[in-house]
Amino acid sequence: MCGIAGYYQLEGEAKPDRDLLRRMVAIIRHRGPDEFGAYFDRKCALGQARLSIIDLSTGSQPLANEDNSVWVTFNGEIYNYVELRPQLEKLGHRFRTQSDTEVIVHAFEQWGVDCLQHFNGQFSFVIYDKKNDRLLAARDRMGIRPLFYTVHNGRFYFASEIKAIFCDENIPRKIDLTGLDEIFTWWTTAPPRTAFENICELEAGGYLEVKNGQIRTGRYWQMQFPESFDRTKSVDSWAEELHALLVDSVRLRLRADVPVGAYLSGGLDSSVTTALIKHFTDTRVETFSIAFHDKAYDESEYQLQMAAYLGTNHHKVACDYRDIAENFPRVIWHTERPIVRTAPTPLYMLSRLVRENNFKVVLTGEGSDEILGGYDIFKEALIRNFWARNPESNWRPLLLKRLYPTLPLSGARARFYLETFYKAGLSQTDAYYYSHLPRINTTSKIKDFFTREVKDRIGNHDSLSAFGRDLPENFNRWHHLARAQYVEARSLLAGYLLSSQGDRVSAANSIEGRFPFLDHRLVEFAAAIPPLYKIFGLKEKFILKRAMRRELPKEIIDRVKQPYMAPDSNSFMQPDPPSYIDEMLNEKALQRNGLFNPAPVASLREKCKRLSHAHLSFKDNMSFIGILSTQLLHHLYIDNFKIPDGIPADAFKVWQDKSDKA
């Protein structure tokens, strides 16, 4: 994993701006503190902050082909580079390094944009094709590694993080109100939109070409589901194939020239990845986890149980309310967008623990829930679809009691609760976002705090349609579980879980997370599994549990799923809270930024204080965290953004076109 940044002149040429590139790389040096590199000519500048993981001695970037006509700066991993290299050598390509980066250059020479179809990896990269005077930018299929871009004054800018683009002080920094509207609907924006005006994000599975002053975007991959499923194969046959793919995916993701660790949450997914490392590789397993002081969120009992069962060398970090409050502003600096939960903050602390133990790479179980049906939102969708066939039924909604046994599902109170929450939108089964309506309705309550001016400026923007603009042609013929999985993967997975809870908080501590469940072969295979084998009755991830029953203890297989969460508003309501909380939420600060109404915010703060020892509703918690994180984002990026000094010139490995006399 690395940080990449640079620019490309859309028309004509210009003197290389070395100082700008040094600043752009400096501000994202946390992504790759091991080495810094740059390439310049009068058309293009490519920068790199490298986290050395593969080919430590000769894998410096930016990197070129044999005649220096094609250059690349690359963030991430191409896991199948070992298999691609001899294939390219047979086609006449000559290699100078042992790195996966060089495979990208030669694959592009051989196949052009179609090279993307050959890669198994997690990546974002930019290729400068000097001979044809064009730029190609691309991002991995699932959106694990980020890439942002903008155009200003005839120049195309790109970077792994938005803050690097803002190192050109001439580029305006302004909150995108439509982006806020989408975040407070979906928890994220729909690419190319971001939280900042005129700053774009390349979508997962997407690419971008710049040539002749024009920018063209395209998509080389998207999640697909069949309209019908093969029901002739037994569940054990599906499970065996899933197991084999998982083993191979884990093996690929252990390719590194540095030690690789694993997160161990105590849940099924991280237990799967850790068990496969233990049973099918020679890697010495070291595991890392979070323990919460608040027992409502703590899973340390199961973490220690699994670590003992697998015999791992286990490390943990303890997290309390104060830890969350103190680290929250740092997390917002790295997420570069408002968030509605504090959950990224303990993960920021966890990646710091990994770094303190001299690891650079960890495997994690992220993605399993999305591809194998692990979330309550999927089970809710199944029940709501069944309910929608007979909306007046008294017993169909009572199936929700099997999901949430503690809900007051009896009598008039139950009827009222279900009709005001889960029954909302029950008639909209044809809407692509039908499965997500309960979550959307809860999150959207944050927008009640917007000022009238913000609401007017957002106008008639339809945030509900944000992820529905280019659905697969046969989307409406998919099974309703498949539709829900697609929407979840495209929105929350790529835009929040792999970003705010993934890349951004791990990269903040120079850690690379790797995701065996998000190998595209595994994703495509899982899409073909009949829904019945993903959610059997209301048992989530049935097929995964079947596949792993030989490697995991029954206690982990049968354990009731506990979604990863962290304390929210009560983290900020303890005695002697950090001063920034009042600085961000006082009346003057709210009026100055003009985003939220001070009086309702004050009432919400008072409610949070009054109930600080209780667990507030999701609506109140998300509202408080969403408002606070937005105020912090404005403070850090609009009011007080500081452009750093550049990487020292003698710390850069610089390649420069010999014809450039500048």
Does 72 share its domain with 192? yes
Does 214 share its domain with 76? yes
Domain boundary among 192, 221, 250: 221
Domain boundary among 169, 191, 221: 221
For residue 653, tell me if it sits in a domain.
Answer: no
Does 114 share its domain with 217? yes
Does 273 share its domain with 307? yes
Does 552 share its domain with 496? yes
Distances (CA, A) of 9 to 6, 16, 214, 587: 10, 10, 11, 44
Does 478 share its domain with 622? no
For residue 292, tell me if it sits in a domain.
Answer: yes
Measured CA angle at 493 (ends 572, 375), to 5 deg: 85
Query: What tokens appear for 401 in the block?
Result: 């009691």
Which pLDDT value is given to residue 611? Answer: 86
CATH number at residue 67: 3.60.20.10
For residue 564, tell me if it sits in a domain.
Answer: no
Which pLDDT value is given to residue 662? Answer: 45
Strands of 214-219's sheet in order across: 63-64, 70-78, 121-129, 134-139, 206-211, 214-219
Does 320 share its domain with 182? no
Does 54 share its domain with 28? yes
| Domain assignment of residue 296, given as a range | 235-325+341-371+492-557
CA dist., res. 333 & res. 330, Å (int): 5
For residue 551, tell me if it sits in a domain.
Answer: yes
At residue 267, what is the residue type? G
For residue 660, tell me if it sits in a domain.
Answer: no
At residue 443, what is the residue type? T
Domain boundary among 168, 197, 221: 221
Measured CA angle at 468 (ends 462, 473), to 5 deg: 150
For residue 138, tell me if it sits in a domain.
Answer: yes
Does 591 share its domain with 504? no
CATH number at residue 510: 3.40.50.620
3-state class (DSSP) for residue 589 = helix
Please count the structural domains in the chain: 4
Does 191 share its domain with 274? no
96: DSSP letter: S
539: DSSP letter: B
Low-confidence residues in the chain, pLDDT < 70: 405-419, 658-662
- Whether the CB-CB separation of 353 and 315 falls below 8 Å is answered with yes
- Whether the CB-CB separation of 218 and 521 falls below 8 Å is answered with no
- Give per-residue pLDDT as tens, 121-149: 999 999 999 999 999 999 999 999 999 99
For residue 259, tell me if it sits in a domain.
Answer: yes
Query: What tokens appear for 477 in the block?
Result: 């013929």
Q: Of 396, 468, 461, whose CA–CA distance to 436 is shortest?
A: 468
Which pLDDT value is given to residue 658? Answer: 62
For residue 208, tell me if it sits in a domain.
Answer: yes
Catalytic residues: 2
Does 10 share its domain with 157? yes
- Give per-residue pLDDT as tens, 19-38: 999 999 999 999 999 999 99
Does 245 share its domain with 177? no
